[in-house]
Amino acid sequence: MAKPEASAKADKQAADFARGLEGVVAAESRICRVDGETPRLSYSGYDILDLVEHATFEEVIYLLWFDELPNRTQLQEFIAKLAAERHLPTGLVYTMRTLPHTTPPMDALRSCVSLLSVYDPEDSHDCSVEANWRRCIRLMSKLPSVVATFDRLRHGHEPVEPNPQLGLAANFLYQLTGQIPNDLSAQAMDVGLTLHADHELNASTFAARVTVGTLSDLYSGITSAVGCLKGPLHGGANQEVIKMLHEVGMLERVESYILEKLARKEKIMGFGHRVYKQCDPRAPILRTWSRRMGEAAGDLLWFQMSKRIEEVVLREKGLFPNVDFYSASVYHTLNIPHDQYTPIFACSRVAGWLAHIMEQLSDNRLIRPVAQWVGHEYRDFKPIDQR
Ligand SMILES: CC(C)(COP(=O)(O)OP(=O)(O)OC[C@H]1O[C@@H](n2cnc3c(N)ncnc32)[C@H](O)[C@@H]1OP(=O)(O)O)[C@@H](O)C(=O)NCCC(=O)NCCS
């Protein structure tokens, strides 16, 4: 006998159910290709290895947004537009001064991104593509300024005005420290930003797409994404890595520390990936930079401990490092406060979030999956004195 239609539909949903949406194709995208098997990562068809070697972060943003690498004129214009939007609204800086110094930087960033919307000079009802691209430039440029400015304020220093002569990476370090970084540091920052710029439908990007899929605004989309990135299973992992390196403290302790952690069934942060079953292609690039920065600083301990952890975790669990693992020691040698690692991730990933938001809006359909019902059968309402 044929099943009733509703029951057949429920059976199909049960068969399709994927915990954590693993393996579910939820969008068509031309922005970032993650090949977990090879493994290989590319933006708009360009391999990440080539981009890190030959392109700046600004070229990468342009590529993610417009699907082509810019020519010289296009790049100069783009850089000028970005540099012109680095200033923060006075009202926002005033509010930032009132935040408790103990505010976690990701909480400050999430709140400030949301507040940026009230200072957006566009008519909030103007959702045209042109107005949204202008908002993209603003968000892209202002996020690093927010991160740097909050860091200065919470440490009792005055904010540093942006320097339009510097690229995005170098200017960020300048606004953070008040010192113009040397070329190697600026390049390390640029590489870090390039490698984190996009990663297909990761959790925060999906959150951004879901948010604007309701035709909410870009600021809401980026606020959702920042909140999502904060979690230790996503962007928060890099901060956990540096915490772990501090706990380990010396090369000789790596083996026992990791074995004890695994025996307690704890996860080793910066390892494993939903998509890459082999090594995350970004990790070896950052490994090289971790060594390079350690050599330049005359302190290879952080690189060496990381390398030893990698060997032990691979041997014990067959797990490879992901992008968060070596970015921690790179940022450490750049003297970046540890709780700023995830906000910096956001300053990079906002390029990808915005690319995905614009892609979502160009062919929008509300994102609304369904749940498989595992609760009570229908039942009669019980008055309060009978419960
Ligand atoms: C990234 C991550 C969330 C992917 O998760 P996932 O695809 O849902 O995989 P699971 O968490 O279900 O892990 C599968 C198995 O590998 C183990 N595993 C995965 N990552 C591990 C890690 N970092 N340390 C130890 N064991 C790990 C799990 O314990 C699980 O083992 P089990 O089957 O015996 O229970 C996960 O690897 C993780 O939590 N990593 C640490 C956090 C991190 O670095 N996040 C940044 C990602 S870029």
Chain CA centroid to CA 299, Å? 27
Longest dimension (CA), the chain: 77
Say yes or no: 99 and 241 in one domain: no
- Total domains, the chain: 2
Say yes or no: 294 and 353 in one domain: no
Say yes or no: 245 and 208 in one domain: no
Q: How close is the Cα of 207 to the center of ligand 1, in Å?
A: 20
Q: How close is the Cα of 346 to the center of ligand 1, in Å?
A: 22
**What pLDDT is attached to residue 3?**
47
What is the gyration radius of the CA atoms in the chain, in angstroms? Answer: 23
Say yes or no: 93 and 211 in one domain: yes
> How many angstroms separate the CA atoms of 369 and 376, rounded?
21
Q: Give the pocket of ligand 1 (CB within 6 Å).
A: 20, 233, 237, 267-274, 317, 319, 322-324
Say yes or no: 92 and 73 in one domain: yes
Residues 344-355: tens digit of each pLDDT? 999 999 999 999
- Phi, psi (5° rounding) for residue 47? -65, 140
Q: How close is the Cα of 93 to the center of ligand 1, in Å?
A: 39
- Which two structure tokens, joined as six digits, stand for 283? 């990790």
The protein residue with its alpha carbon nearest to ligand 1, atom 26, reads 267
Q: How close is the Cα of 267 to the center of ligand 1, in Å?
A: 7
Q: Is 273 a catalytic residue?
A: yes
Higher pLDDT, 2 or 193: 193
Contact 351, 59 (CB under 8 A): no
Catalytic residue among 273, 332, 338, 356: 273
Say yes or no: 151 and 270 in one domain: no
What's the mean per-residue pLDDT of the chain? Answer: 95
18, part of any domain: no
Say yes or no: 303 and 351 in one domain: no
The protein residue with its alpha carbon nearest to ligand 1, atom 39, reads 233
The protein residue with its alpha carbon nearest to ligand 1, atom 3, reads 233
Say yes or no: 133 and 209 in one domain: yes
> How many angstroms separate the CA atoms of 368 and 27, rounded?
12
Domain that holds residue 102: 46-231+340-362
Element (H or E) spanning 85, and its range? none
Q: Which atom of ligand 1 is nearest to the CA of 322?
A: 48
Q: Read off the pLDDT of each residue in 168-195 and give the average, rounded to a whole number.
A: 98
Catalytic residue among 280, 324, 332, 338: 324
Say yes or no: 182 and 56 in one domain: yes
163, part of any domain: yes
Nearest of 162, 145, 161, 53 to residue 347 by alpha carbon? 145
Say yes or no: 218 and 289 in one domain: no
Residues 1-45: tens digit of each pLDDT? 444 555 555 555 556 789 999 889 999 999 999 999 999 999 999
Say yes or no: 158 and 264 in one domain: no
> How many angstroms separate the CA atoms of 304 and 322, rounded?
17
161, part of any domain: yes
The protein residue with its alpha carbon nearest to ligand 1, atom 19, reads 272
